[in-house]
């Protein structure tokens, strides 16, 4: 049986994450993903008459879900070191593709969610589905 050692503090965990290379920015991947999403959306728009509606819906669900994660990663500065570049890319990307305000999301997620992470009374991301069942 293998005994695993888990970090006792956040700083130890972060050091392990950094050592594994998980905090490195990946500008090439970010660029490829953004271009891929735009190409997929344009391709779907141009060929939508040829698709079965259910297949088109399934395809668009995958594309938009990926777009949300790309927008999330851009706003967390995962792709580019330059903060200005990240925001200049994220605002039109989120607004045009997702119909979402990056500044609203930046405040809601980075300030509200990360300040009160997983505190039921304060973290709005936990209560996000409250309205789905009313």
Quickly count: other Cβ atoms within 10 Å of residue 86's Cβ: 22
Q: Are residues 29 and 91 in the same domain?
A: yes
Q: What is the pLDDT of residue 116?
A: 79
Q: Give the Cα-Cα-Cα angle 27, 64, 24 (nearest 5 degrees).
A: 20
Q: What is the pLDDT of residue 129?
A: 60
Q: What is the pLDDT of residue 13?
A: 83
Which residues, in sequence order, are CB contacts of 119 under 8 Å at separation 6+?
none
Q: Are residues 36 and 72 in the same domain?
A: yes
- CA separation for the pair 74, 88 (Å, rounded): 10
What's the structural domain count of the chain? 2
Whether 94 maps to a domain, the answer reads: yes
For the chain, list residues with pLDDT below 70. 1-7, 127-134
Q: Are residues 64 and 115 in the same domain?
A: no
Phi, psi of 81 (to 5 degrees): -70, -35
Q: Are residues 133 and 80 in the same domain?
A: no
Whether 17 maps to a domain, the answer reads: no
Q: What is the pLDDT of residue 10?
A: 79
Q: Which domain holds residue 111?
A: 101-134
Q: Are residues 65 and 122 in the same domain?
A: no
Q: Are residues 57 and 34 in the same domain?
A: yes
Whether 87 maps to a domain, the answer reads: yes
- CA separation for the pair 58, 52 (Å, rounded): 10
Q: Are residues 63 and 111 in the same domain?
A: no
Q: What global pTM score does this model have?
A: 0.73
Q: Are residues 92 and 105 in the same domain?
A: no
Whether 33 maps to a domain, the answer reads: yes
Q: Are residues 48 and 73 in the same domain?
A: yes
Whether 19 maps to a domain, the answer reads: no
């Amino acid at each position: 049986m293998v005994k695993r050692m888990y970090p006792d503090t956040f700083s130890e965990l972060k050091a392990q994450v950094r050592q594994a290379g998980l905090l490195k920015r990946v500008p090439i991947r970010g660029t490829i993903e953004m271009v891929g999403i735009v190409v997929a959306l344009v391709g779907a728009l141009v060929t939508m008459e040829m698709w079965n509606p259910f297949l088109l819906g399934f395809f668009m669900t995958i594309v938009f879900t990926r777009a949300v994660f790309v927008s999330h990663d851009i706003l967390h500065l995962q792709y580019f070191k330059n903060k200005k570049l990240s925001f200049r890319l994220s605002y039109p990307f989120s607004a045009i593709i997702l119909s979402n305000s990056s500044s609203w999301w930046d405040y809601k997620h980075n300030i509200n969610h990360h300040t009160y992470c997983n505190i039921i009374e304060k973290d709005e991301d936990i209560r996000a589905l409250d309205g789905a069942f009313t």
